[in-house]
Chains A and B, each alone.
Chain A
């Protein structure tokens, strides 16, 4: 009986459809009780560190209405992945963020102003006051990035080598150069200073530029990195490699792994970095042999160094902004901040209550860093900073180090890229 079979089949289909609808509505009702999901992206210098996973568990347990789902992305890919994910409508709700990218993302309307949420946040009074500026485009404008972990650059030096050579730790550019020359001996593959011309070297470069008196922008926000004074400081920096040869011949392409490795292996007497490498350096060379200094200045009366902030942002495309802010502001509260700063990712805390704790005030590396924070200068929030730090600086610095272009040409290119 053909028709009977057809009828049976139709009924079966109808039944299945009904079941499907029922299941759908059941899922819907479960869904109504599920917590708001906050997708959070971050990078970690040491991805094997359990600290962040523990923080998320702690937050989720304390806030049953919110569930944070995090995704780790390496810093070198972070910017690209974030842009493409946001463009494709699959970006996170909130994320760790560098001040380098602020200008670019604000220009694209991708970041949410956090002013209203901050006004209601009880922890706001604990944030070190001038650090709010690292999350703004203009002084009077809204805060887009919650201050979290910052780094200021300082100088590591080999105490044992300095003592042997009868040198005192350098405070000025001249003393720095003299010490570097004295500690350079190519026959022993030993050099005075681990100059970083490769990936990521722009922070070290900027620390020396501002310590030499150059500035990226003036008070009105105009780019002045190619003015005669900056050209002179930049020439001094280039000459460390070209003229005085106090940096290893590999300096033009040396990145973090190479400058750190060379210092650890006893190939360099000094190198500039931040508190994040202090454990690695002292473990290898012994705490007695490693000293730390503020970045020397051209004029010791006007010290300066570079500060860069890794904060937290909420994206405008997010559908759960309130929950996202709840999480990122929680990260900037005393308990979570101390856990983060005290971990292997350890960077400078943005809270007064944490910076006062003995484990930071009694640690030389944190102390020199926190002192530097008083006069440190950040990358300006210009839309081109992302490109400069990702590629333009590196290509042009290397060309200048190789003598293919002049100091002025290099800075003209960087000024152009900053103003894109």
Chain B
């Protein structure tokens, strides 16, 4: 892989080695400056913050405290609750979004009258701003006159209205429900694109050989979808782990800490307690945990790709 690239680079340069890297660097510099400015600097700054006690409006009082914030993490009972909630949130949301998206994609891939319109309409939840989604679901789930309670009581499933967002056991699942609703179209669209790329003759051949619809799906369609599934789930895991708009608006992390996730905890510590140092520490822990999960996942992905091929 490497040698052809190198030789082509040499061919571009005219006089001496110095110039060969100067021109590409020059051409890349706007992008590099942007990357350094909006990615590298904030990350570096967050790491620096995590080692300091910061008085936000009095920079002279900022002091280096080494690993104190990291030691503080071990003694913080809330971070443990938040980590647990984050795992439930990410795993639960991504699994249900994926299953919903897969079913949606399979339906949208069939021919039926009005398919184009349905495909367009199906994207509405994805295109709705998070604040709207949060407010809409907050009112639908309302414990005193919410639509969902009303329907459940009228159909006899429940005997009495439930305060979905005010009970520790149901608050996080209720927010997850809203997020699953919002995220299904993303999976559906990605999987639909992958489905359409599968050549028709493959499943046709399987059917001629006598395979049932289920077996065609399991042995022909699904293996060809795996690369798309793995990539989209990974992206979704990262986004979901960092996503806090819905939780913040619907429950504020409550009741108590029952729906508090790690990024929301970091936000509260940094902006409400004005403890930017400790807030940054929590954010860094989240980055490390997420990076570890993604590395494991990518490894698994590579193994699966080998298996599929």
Chain A interfacial positions (CB closer than 8 Å to B): 79-80, 83-84, 86-87, 104-105, 108-110, 186-187, 189, 197-199, 248-254, 258, 261-262, 265, 267, 386-387, 390-392, 394-396, 398-399, 401-402, 404, 420
Are B58 and A189 closer than 8 Å at their CB atoms? Answer: no
Contact indicator A189/B144 (Cβ below 8 Å)? yes
CB distance from B71 to the nearest CB of A (A): 19
Question: What is the minimal beta-carbon distance from A145 to any residue of chain B, in angstroms?
Answer: 17
Q: When A387-B272, A387-B274, A391-B273 are in contact, do A249 and B256 touch as well, CB less than 8 Å?
A: no
Q: Are B252 and A198 in contact (CB under 8 A)?
A: yes
Contacts of A391 on B, CB cut-off 8 Å?
268, 272-273
In the complex, A387 Cα to B56 Cα: how many Å? 14
In the complex, how many residues of chain B place their beta carbon closer than 8 angstroms to a beta carbon of chain A? Answer: 31
Apart from the given pairs A84-B56, A395-B254, A402-B255, 10 other A-B contacts in the complex at a CB distance below 8 Å: A109-B57, A189-B161, A199-B252, A249-B161, A249-B167, A250-B143, A253-B163, A262-B145, A267-B144, A396-B256
B126 at the interface (CB under 8 A from A): no
Q: Does any Cβ of A come within 8 Å of B86's Cβ?
A: no
Known: A108-B58, A110-B57, A391-B273. A258 touches B142 (CB 8 A): yes
What is the bound-complex CA distance between A398 and B163, given in angstroms?
Answer: 14
Central interface residue in A84, A253, A395, by most chain B CB within 10 Å: A253
Q: Are B144 and A265 in contact (CB under 8 A)?
A: yes
List chain B residues, Cβ under 8 A from A399.
255-257
**Residue B180 at the A interface, CB < 8 A?**
no
| Contact across chains for A249 and B56 when beta carbons are under 8 A apart | no
A244 to B98, CA, bound (A): 44
Question: Would you give the shortest CB distance from A88 to chain B, in whole angstroms?
Answer: 10
Q: What is the count of residue pairs linking A and B with beta-carbon distances less than 8 angstroms?
A: 106
User: What 6 A-B pairs have minimum CB-CB distances, sorted nearest first?
Assistant: A250-B143, A250-B163, A399-B256, A108-B57, A398-B255, A252-B255
**Do A87 and B57 have beta carbons less than 8 Å apart?**
yes
Assuming the A-B contacts A108-B55, A198-B254, A401-B255, are A253 and B274 also in contact, with contact meaning beta carbons closer than 8 angstroms in the complex?
no
Q: How near does chain A come to B11, taking the closest CB pair, in angstroms?
A: 33
Interface contact B252-A252, CB-CB below 8 Å? no
Which residues in B have some Cβ–Cβ distance to A below 8 Å? 55-58, 142-145, 160-163, 165-168, 171, 251-258, 260, 268, 271-274
Q: Check if B57 sits within 8 Å of A395, measured CB to CB.
A: no
CB within 8 Å for A387 and B273 given contacts A189-B145, A248-B163, A253-B165:
yes
Contact present for B274 and A83 (CB under 8 Å):
yes
Residues A197 and B273 in contact in the complex (CB < 8 Å), given A248-B144, A267-B144, A391-B268: no
Q: How far is the CA of A128 from the CA of B40 in the complex (A)?
A: 54
Q: Which residue of chain A has its CB nearest to the CB of B256?
A: A399
Output the nearest chain B residue to A420 by Cβ-Cβ distance. Answer: B273
Would A108 and B161 be within 8 Å (CB), given that A253-B252, A401-B255 are in contact?
no
In the complex, chain B residues whose CB is within 8 Å of the CB of A402: 168, 255-256, 258
Which residues of chain A are within 8 angstroms of B144 by Cβ–Cβ distance?
189, 248, 250, 258, 261-262, 265, 267
Chain A residues with CB under 8 Å of B165's CB are 250, 253
Q: A87-B56, A110-B57, A402-B256 are in contact. Are A250 and B272 (CB under 8 A)?
A: no
Chain A contacts of B145 at CB under 8 A?
189, 261-262, 265, 267
Contacts of B260 in A (CB 8 A): 395
Inter-subunit contact A86/B57 (CB<8 Å)? yes
Residue on A nearest B54 in the bound complex, by CB: A87
What residues of chain A lie closer than 8 Å to B143, measured between beta carbons? 248-250
Instruction: Output the least CB separation between B301 and chain A (Å).
Output: 38
CA distance A257 to B255 in the complex (A): 17
